[in-house]
Amino acid sequence: MAIPFFFYLFSILAVASAVLVVTARNPVHSVLFLILCFFNAAGLFVLLGAEFLAMILIVVYVGAVAVLFLFVVMMLDVDFVELREGFLNYLPIGAVIGLILMVELILLYATWHIAPDLIAHVSSPQSDSVTNTQAIGLVLYTKYVFWFQTAGLILLVAMIGAIVLTMRHKPNVKRQVIADQVARGPATSIEIREVKSGEGI
């Protein structure tokens, strides 16, 4: 009786927080709702017996990614009034895209069904002596190793692209030049002046 109660509790909170991520006006509140959504998704993983995935979701996404989003949003000087000015310009195309997505979801839900013999095709666990963490590793690094490495390369390219796009050199800002620091000598480091008695420099 307790498992269905917590399943519906985590599911309702996860869906509600996901909706609030999109509808919240303040981006800081959106990030906080995103963290709440991650916590509820981790609770669902625990109910499924996948405690490793729940821990990874908390440690990686909540502890690193979501907190990073929160700090970035708080540090950015975003003019929300200016962002809302172009809302009406994009409203028609947004409504068309939303209508198309809603029709696709309705068609998908209307034609979706569960095969009667689906349970028979579900793969059985590896062994009673193998934990779910080891089972994930055995499957991920053998059967899906190509897709795992491909996802890593895509994330690497995305990270490099984000760094290149956001790295802007502002004028009149002094930057550190390692070569000039290493090549410094007495002639470029100090300047000797003769100061007469009673006079300043």
Residue 11: band (very low, low, confident or very high) from pLDDT cuts 50, 70, 90: very high
C-alpha dihedral sign at 142, 146, 151, 157: positive
Query: Residue 24, exposed/middle/buried by CB under 10 A (0-12, 13-18, 19+)?
Result: middle
User: 10 or 130: which carries more pLDDT confidence?
Assistant: 10
Q: What is the mean pLDDT of the segment spanning 174-178?
A: 80
pLDDT digits (tens, 9 = 90+) for 78-125: 666 666 666 677 788 888 999 999 999 898 888 777 666 666 655 555
DSSP 123: P
CB of 70 closer than 8 Å to CB of 31? yes
**Pick from 37-51, 80-94, 139-153, 181-195: least confident:** 80-94
Q: Which fold has domain 1-77?
A: Four Helix Bundle (Hemerythrin (Met), subunit A) (1.20.120)
CB of 61 closer than 8 Å to CB of 54? no
Domain limits of the chain?
1-77, 129-171
Q: CB count, 10 Å around CB of 186?
A: 7
pLDDT of amino acid 17: 93
